[in-house]
Amino acid sequence: METDDALDGAPTADTAARVREVIAAAGVSQREFARRVVMDPSKLSRSLSGTRRFTAAELARIADEGRVDVGRLLGGRTREQAAAPTAGLEGGRPLQIVRETVRLIAEHGFHAVRVADIARACATSSAAIHYHFPGRAELLEAAVRWCMDEDTARRAARLAEADDAAAELHQLIALQTPRTAQQRRQWAVWLDLWAEAARSTAVGRLHSEYYRQWRETVADVVRRGVEQGVFRAGSDPRAAALTLTALIDGLATHVLSVSGPESATAADAMHAALTTHVTHTLLAP
């Protein structure tokens, strides 16, 4: 199964054809459309060719970008009907399970979280957890995918608010600066997943792919900034993205290492350092 919130039962070929219609109506390239919905271009291509299924979150973003109802993409099903196969992440007990799993991973670490701990946090039994998720591995993967979809949705919302590529980059920096409890929790999960990526586990590979997509998003923003004239001509988008994301990672790690009032000061310093870096290395004079 491609993803925990894949739309089981959705007619893949018909859905892909309808998504093609939405892209055609947008009047942009497939790659540009993928950028607008914050989706990896290769995943969009595979989904359109039928070798991969769109996830519920991806179809929701495509529907929003194309200003159509997601039910249209699914062959006339209503939003409520479309949500039914994805109830695991849409609401109720399964969503509670996933959210509590994320919280426990952030607080105790990936390998320390047991199904019994999750059941206790949800005030239910381990058997009830297994009713929704066959095993611990499936549950942890669902939690990671939920984190990624949440991050992608927030990123899409922030980019939509920006007037140009420079503003987009500043929005991404603000989004990656761990100020709120939610942002710190998300970063704690990412830090734990890096170790999984180094071990090349299934979840680690998932994280590595998502991180590659994140760097490509930054590179695309830089590329557009050069085209718009807001970033320096001749800037290398991939090199700039690699440097900036590395700075974000290192500074965020430092912010997470402090607590209390000092954490806010560290977050301010991180944001200022990243803004200064962009000003000195990318902004057109």
Cα separation, 200 vs 208, whole angstroms: 9
Nearest to 7 by CA among 97, 92, 84: 84
Q: What is the pLDDT of residue 80?
A: 37
* Residue with more model confidence, 143 or 79: 143
Query: CB-based contacts of 243: which residues, under 8 Å, 6+ apart?
Result: 277, 281
Phi, psi dihedrals of residue 134, rounded to the nearest 5° = -55, -40
Structure tokens at 18: 């309808």
Cα separation, 79 vs 68, whole angstroms: 11
Cα separation, 209 vs 236, whole angstroms: 22
Cα separation, 256 vs 253, whole angstroms: 5
State the average pLDDT for the chain: 82
Q: Is the pLDDT of residue 237 over 90?
A: yes
Q: Is the pLDDT of residue 270 over 60?
A: yes
Structure tokens at 266: 């560290």
Q: Supply the DSSP symbol for 68.
A: S
Q: Is the pLDDT of residue 89 over 70?
A: no
Are the C-beta atoms of 122 and 100 separated by less than 8 Å? yes
Q: Which residues are bridge partners to 46 per DSSP?
A: none
Q: Is the pLDDT of residue 277 over 70?
A: yes
pTM comes to 0.66
* 231-242 core/surface letters (b: 16 or more CB in 10 A; e: else): beeebebeebbe
Q: What are the pLDDT digits (tens) for 172-222?
A: 999 999 998 888 988 988 888 877 777 767 777 777 888 888 898 899 999
Nearest to 4 by CA among 69, 44, 57, 45: 57
Which position has the token pair 């701990």? 117
